[in-house]
Amino acid sequence: MNEKKVIGEKALEYVKDGMVVGLGTGSTAYYFTSKLGELVQQGLNIKGVPTSKKTETLANELGIPLVSFNEIEKIDLAVDGADEVDADLNLIKGGGGALLREKIIAASAKTFIVIADSHKNVDTLGTFPLPVEVVPFGLEMTIKHIRDLGGKTELRQQQGKPFLTDNGNYILDTNFQEIKEPKELEKKLNLIPGVVDNGLFVGMADAVITIIDKKLVTVFRK
Ligand SMILES: O=C[C@H](O)[C@H](O)[C@H](O)COP(=O)(O)O
């Protein structure tokens, strides 16, 4: 079974005519957006808000009409992938570097649905290194502050150069081992000058569509 495709397309059930929809980033969100494009071509009337330049390009290719923030009051639904999901539906995101725009859009959405294949489900967050978006200025100092919190940082690279986010920032992939208190860590990291945001999404997901024991399930936040 192509889990990502099955899960991504399942999320279409939450899309209703007239909605403003946040379009996630990554290989699972790809299937959601692609199917959404088909439905738009068949007459579905929605508007999209992309979480990355990559998704913006895909949406344009598919003919999904896009809106910017100054044209809308709210986002009805956001659908996005995740790198890890715990039992409380807390997430690590940002494996593709899109965490900041993803968090802005998830935080503005009435309903935030996560689409995550079975490999993403964990007891405790932290095996997947936490992406932390930082401004290039003062990088070495920012790294010191993050290390003081117990994180081992690695500057994400792409083709021999620091990876640049859509916002012109760097990503520090940071290993904290087990993240027992995700909300605390999310806050502490974001208080460090130079940190723009981090990939912890705590208490944001309303539901996660995933595969458990080979069955497609939707888990709602308690
Ligand atoms: O920055 C990227 C996003 O947070 C993705 O949603 C996340 O990395 C999951 O991606 P995928 O569906 O490709 O595993």
Full set of structural domains in the chain with CATH: 3-121+202-220 (3.40.50.1360), 130-198 (3.30.70.260)
* pTM for the full predicted model: 0.97
CB 74 within 8 A of CB 107: no
CB 53 less than 6 A from any atom of ligand 1 = no
CB 21 within 8 A of CB 75: yes
> Using CA positions, which residue lies closest to atom 7 of ligand 1?
82
The residues with which 198 forms a beta bridge, in sequence order, are 132
Question: Across all residues in the chain, what is the average pLDDT?
Answer: 98
CB 220 within 8 A of CB 206: yes
Predicted local distance difference test score (pLDDT) of residue 116: 98
Distance, in Å, from the CA atom of 170 to the CA atom of 44, rounded to the nearest integer, reads 37
Distance, in Å, from the CA atom of 133 to the CA atom of 166, rounded to the nearest integer, reads 11
Distance, in Å, from the CA atom of 51 to the CA atom of 197, rounded to the nearest integer, reads 15
Q: Provide φ and ψ at 161, rounded to 5°.
A: -130, 160
**DSSP character at residue 106:** H
CB 174 less than 6 A from any atom of ligand 1 = no
CB 94 less than 6 A from any atom of ligand 1 = yes
Predicted local distance difference test score (pLDDT) of residue 7: 98
CB 50 less than 6 A from any atom of ligand 1 = no
Predicted local distance difference test score (pLDDT) of residue 192: 98
Please give the distance, rounded to the nearest whole angstrom, from the Cα atom of residue 83 to the centre of ligand 1: 6
CB 131 less than 6 A from any atom of ligand 1 = no
Please give the distance, rounded to the nearest whole angstrom, from the Cα atom of residue 117 to the centre of ligand 1: 11
Which of 160-181 are b and which e, b meaning 16 or more Cβ less than 10 Å from the residue's Cβ? Answer: eeeeebbeebbbbbbebeebee
Distance, in Å, from the CA atom of 130 to the CA atom of 34, rounded to the nearest integer, reads 28
120 in a labelled binding site: yes
How confident is the model over 70-105, as pLDDT tens digits? 999 999 999 999 999 999 999 999 999 999 999 999
CB 162 within 8 A of CB 186: no
Per-residue pLDDT tens, the chain, 222 aa: give them.
Answer: 899 999 999 999 999 999 999 999 999 999 999 999 999 999 999 999 999 999 999 999 999 999 999 999 999 999 999 999 999 999 999 999 999 999 999 999 999 999 999 999 999 999 999 999 999 999 999 999 999 999 999 999 999 999 999 999 999 999 999 999 999 999 999 999 999 999 999 999 999 999 999 999 999 998
Predicted local distance difference test score (pLDDT) of residue 1: 87
Q: 204: how many CB neighbours lie within 10 A of its CB?
A: 20
Q: Provide φ and ψ at 149, rounded to 5°.
A: -85, 0
Catalytic residues: 102
Provide CB contacts within 8 A for 212, sequence distance 6+: 118, 121, 219
Pocket test for ligand 1, best of 2, 3, 6, 28 (most atoms within 8 A of CB): 28
Please give the distance, rounded to the nearest whole angstrom, from the Cα atom of residue 156 to the centre of ligand 1: 15
CB 206 within 8 A of CB 221: yes
Pocket test for ligand 1, best of 83, 103, 115, 197 (most atoms within 8 A of CB): 83
Residue type, 82: A
CB 58 within 8 A of CB 52: no
Predicted local distance difference test score (pLDDT) of residue 180: 97
Residue 39, classed as helix, strand or coil, is: helix
33 in a labelled binding site: no
Strands 207-212 and 215-220, by their bridges, are antiparallel
